[in-house]
Structure 1
Amino acid sequence: MRAVLPWPWEAWPSEARLLIGLVGVWCVLGLLVLASASWWVAEREMGDGAFYLKRQLIWMVASWGLLLLGVRIPLRRWLHLAPLALLVGCMLVAATLVVGSTVNGASRWLVLGPLQLQPSELVKPFVVLQGAALFAHWRRIGLDQKLLWLGVFGVLILMILKQPNLSTAALTGLLLWLMALAAGVGLPLLLGAATAGGMLGAASILLNTYQRLRVVSFLNPWRDAQGDGYQLVQSLLAIGSGGLFGEGFGLSTQKLQYLPIQSTDFIFAVFAEEFGYVGSLVLLLFLLLFGFMGLRVALSCRSNQQRLVAMGCTTLLVGQSILNIAVASGAMPTTGLPLPMISYGGNSLMASLLICGLLIRCALESGGLAPISRASRRRRPASAR
């Protein structure tokens, strides 16, 4: 373990230790819930009940490699890499509009041999990093720099919206808006951005029939329980069937034949049916604890950039989780946001764990562990390595 960590474990601040422990628990929980949610479908469609679990395990190993990379590399290097990575991400998102693979009416995927890339997921960590770099120096940079990067963010959101992927576009816009608010950007600009974002979202719903139907079915899913409201109705039935303590691990019945996309967007419904109200409450308390630790890290950061990176990472992970749970429980219209570290999918897993690595890196640097240069690494005694 010492070979992959930048400092001895004993030197880590308590926030960093607790965060990596929470991420480990989150990942183990995700594998268990995914195993239960996907087993029956995998056995029926693939002839191997562990098909999705095995693939998720492979992605999990690769994603933890990214987390450790995020922990090892100084934050300033990540911030220097962010502009180029964000531009490459924009080009990949643009490529989905031209040569992307269309699934359920949305072109969100690039197929490269055996790999399927979802650029709108992979670009999220670099949106956080570049957003922090922009808003942390908002009062000191020129108008040309502000317009350049606001334009890049705007084009990225429009391209994601064009796929169409309203949920990810809205999450990206909301993330940047909250980071700008935390950085102290002027209120008129924030109000203007919020108004423009609301009008853009409303226009997307009016122009895309399937989005409009989702909003209508969300208001009264029982009106068309066998049609547009089917997903939400089955999700609500699963959650309601869990009762107080749940049916028990692996004993969900809605996942067998009724609940659609139970391994991704609606995996929380399977969790709620098997672990009940108490289990769901524990999960929400877990997210609250993770958010609290992320906020502690942000408040202890020594620079505005570090602080905004920590706040952006925490907002993205906890906010996306809350939105996914809200969709599954009928508090929001149905969207395509995965539940971080729990939903099946390698792209979401890699992005989420890299974000966790960046947050832990912020905790390390805010705890007084300065970035290690090559010269200082050579000067350290062998016992400290």
Structure 2
Amino acid sequence: MVFSSSYSYTLVNLGDGYHYLKRVSIWAVVGTLAMIFFSKVNYWHWSKYANLAFIVSIILLILVLTPLGIERNYARRWLGVGESLTFMPSEVAKFAAIIFIPTSISRKKEKMQTFSQGILPYLMIIGLYFGLIFKQPDFSTAFVVVVMIFAMVFVGGIKFSHFLSIAGTGVGAITLLLAYILFSGKGGYKAERITTFLDPWKDPTDKGYQVIQSLLAIGTGGIFGRGLGRSVQKHFYLPEPQNDFIFSIIAEELGFIGGITVILLFMILIWRGIKIAMSAPDMLGCLMSTGVITMIAVQVMINIAVATSSMPATGIPLPFISYGGSSLVIFMSAIGIVLNISKHTNLDRS
């Protein structure tokens, strides 16, 4: 789908219609090797490097906000050399959290029931991650990290009353943040995205253009689609068809059937991950699986919700499908950890 959605753009702008296909193929090979590697190494081994992973991820998130960070489309989210060899520190932060948070919780055990040693330290970690990623700005990834950590902490055994109070505070904070963005006059592009979501036809040639083109792509796909490679919207109508809006191209070319098939495949993957988490041999394995599956589930929901105009537009890729090297490698590495946990579960059963 990356090749189909990007061919016209890369042919006209880069002189090579296979540019993204070549790059994503390389990253797919790297991701597959990473998945195999992590599936072979005992997941307990990574707990030795939990603190290091956390520190490195924070350092990278700080560096991306300095002049070393690479800016694209008014967002500073990348580190690397030039435009070709780059990666997103926020993706590294997700993976680091999947190792660090479960390791920390599994060591605390009954202390998780207390506020000072249970929920409080993780609130500080959430605030640190959220603040650094939101500053890029990248609200969607920051939201994914927050939900992912909350899910692991909740499963890790914090008091339900603590969870409810924090969840209520979080909802209140988000409400105040949205109110500030909309009514303070200082919301900038964030306010524009929210108002565009409420009425994209108010500015169909500028602010609402991308969402409208996405809906046109999905709508014109019908039941069975135009056919693989026959999308019209990818021909410079829909911006970023290979990234944030690749689901729209899937629905246009493969139709309602293709879109539902993709959603069902993700649901099967998520359900299988939940089963692995529930039957994991220990708390560490359970929490790692929970983190990985929550990360995938939340990101899938956000991406598809944006493509269908069910929430304000925000830049976040569809796991395993959208173009993006660091995202693909991180997701496949995370799946490798879940596969290793599953293998130990099967061994314990036998």
* Alignment TM-score, normalising by the size of structure 2: 0.91
Aligned match of 2:72: 103
Aligned match of 1:310: 289
Paired residue for 1:71, among 35, 39, 46?
Answer: 39
> Which residue identity does 1:139 align to in structure 2?
E
Cα distance in 1 for partners of 2:280, 2:346 equals 8
Paired residue for 1:118, among 85, 88, 91?
Answer: 88
Aligned match of 1:241: 220
Paired residue for 2:211, among 232, 236, 244?
Answer: 232
> Which residue identity does 2:20 align to in structure 1?
Y
Contact kept, 8 Å, 2:281 with 2:348, in 1: the verdict is no
Alignment of 1:172-183 (within 5 A): 172-183=145-156
Aligned match of 1:13: none
Cα distance in 2 for partners of 1:369, 1:293 equals 18
Gaps of 5+ in 2: none
Paired residue for 2:101, among 121, 127, 131?
Answer: 131
Alignment of 1:195-274 (within 5 A): 195-202=168-175, 205=178, 206=181, 207-274=186-253
Alignment of 1:1-385 (within 5 A): 33-99=1-67, 100-113=69-82, 114-136=84-106, 137-140=108-111, 143=116, 147-202=120-175, 205=178, 206=181, 207-368=186-347
SS state at 1:315 partner: helix
Cα distance in 2 for partners of 1:343, 1:115 equals 18
SS state at 2:77 partner: strand
> Which residue identity does 1:309 align to in structure 2?
M
Cα distance in 2 for partners of 1:302, 1:133 equals 14
Aligned match of 1:24: none
SS state at 2:76 partner: strand
In the TM superposition, what is the alpha-carbon distance from 1:127 to its structure 2 partner? 0.8
Cα distance in 1 for partners of 2:174, 2:111 equals 32
Cα distance in 2 for partners of 1:337, 1:366 equals 32
CA-to-aligned-CA distance 1:129-173 (integer Å, 9 cap, x gap): 222223343523684686555423321211101111110111111
CA-to-aligned-CA distance 1:114-136 (integer Å, 9 cap, x gap): 52121001221221222222334
Cα distance in 2 for partners of 1:309, 1:178 equals 11
Gaps of 5+ in 1: 1-32, 371-385
Cα distance in 2 for partners of 1:121, 1:164 equals 14
Cα distance in 2 for partners of 1:118, 1:65 equals 20
In the TM superposition, what is the alpha-carbon distance from 1:191 to its structure 2 partner? 2.8
Between the aligned residues of both structures, percent identity stands at 33
SS state at 1:254 partner: coil
Contact kept, 8 Å, 2:227 with 2:254, in 1: the verdict is yes
CA-to-aligned-CA distance 1:184-210 (integer Å, 9 cap, x gap): 312333234324434554565515311
- Bigger drift between 146-155 and 107-116 goes to 146-155
Cα distance in 2 for partners of 1:159, 1:200 equals 17
- Bigger drift between 222-231 and 178-187 goes to 178-187
> Which residue identity does 2:135 align to in structure 1?
K
- Bigger drift between 176-185 and 158-167 goes to 176-185
SS state at 1:97 partner: coil
In the TM superposition, what is the alpha-carbon distance from 1:50 to its structure 2 partner? 0.4
Number of equivalent positions: 338
SS state at 2:234 partner: helix
CA-to-aligned-CA distance 1:278-299 (integer Å, 9 cap, x gap): 1111111111111111111112
Cα distance in 2 for partners of 1:146, 1:215 equals 31
- Bigger drift between 333-342 and 192-201 goes to 192-201
Cα distance in 1 for partners of 2:276, 2:345 equals 7
Cα distance in 2 for partners of 1:101, 1:203 equals 31
SS state at 1:365 partner: helix
Q: What CA RMSD, in Å, does the superposition of the two structures yield over aligned residues?
A: 2.0
Cα distance in 1 for partners of 2:275, 2:118 equals 31
> Which residue identity does 2:46 align to in structure 1?
W
Contact kept, 8 Å, 1:34 with 1:343, in 2: the verdict is yes
SS state at 2:229 partner: coil
SS state at 1:340 partner: coil
Cα distance in 2 for partners of 1:93, 1:331 equals 29
SS state at 2:235 partner: helix
CA-to-aligned-CA distance 1:306-352 (integer Å, 9 cap, x gap): 11111211121132112211110111111111011111111111111
Contact kept, 8 Å, 1:175 with 1:312, in 2: the verdict is yes
Cα distance in 2 for partners of 1:208, 1:357 equals 40
> Which residue identity does 2:12 align to in structure 1?
R
Cα distance in 2 for partners of 1:39, 1:179 equals 40
* Alignment TM-score, normalising by the size of structure 1: 0.83
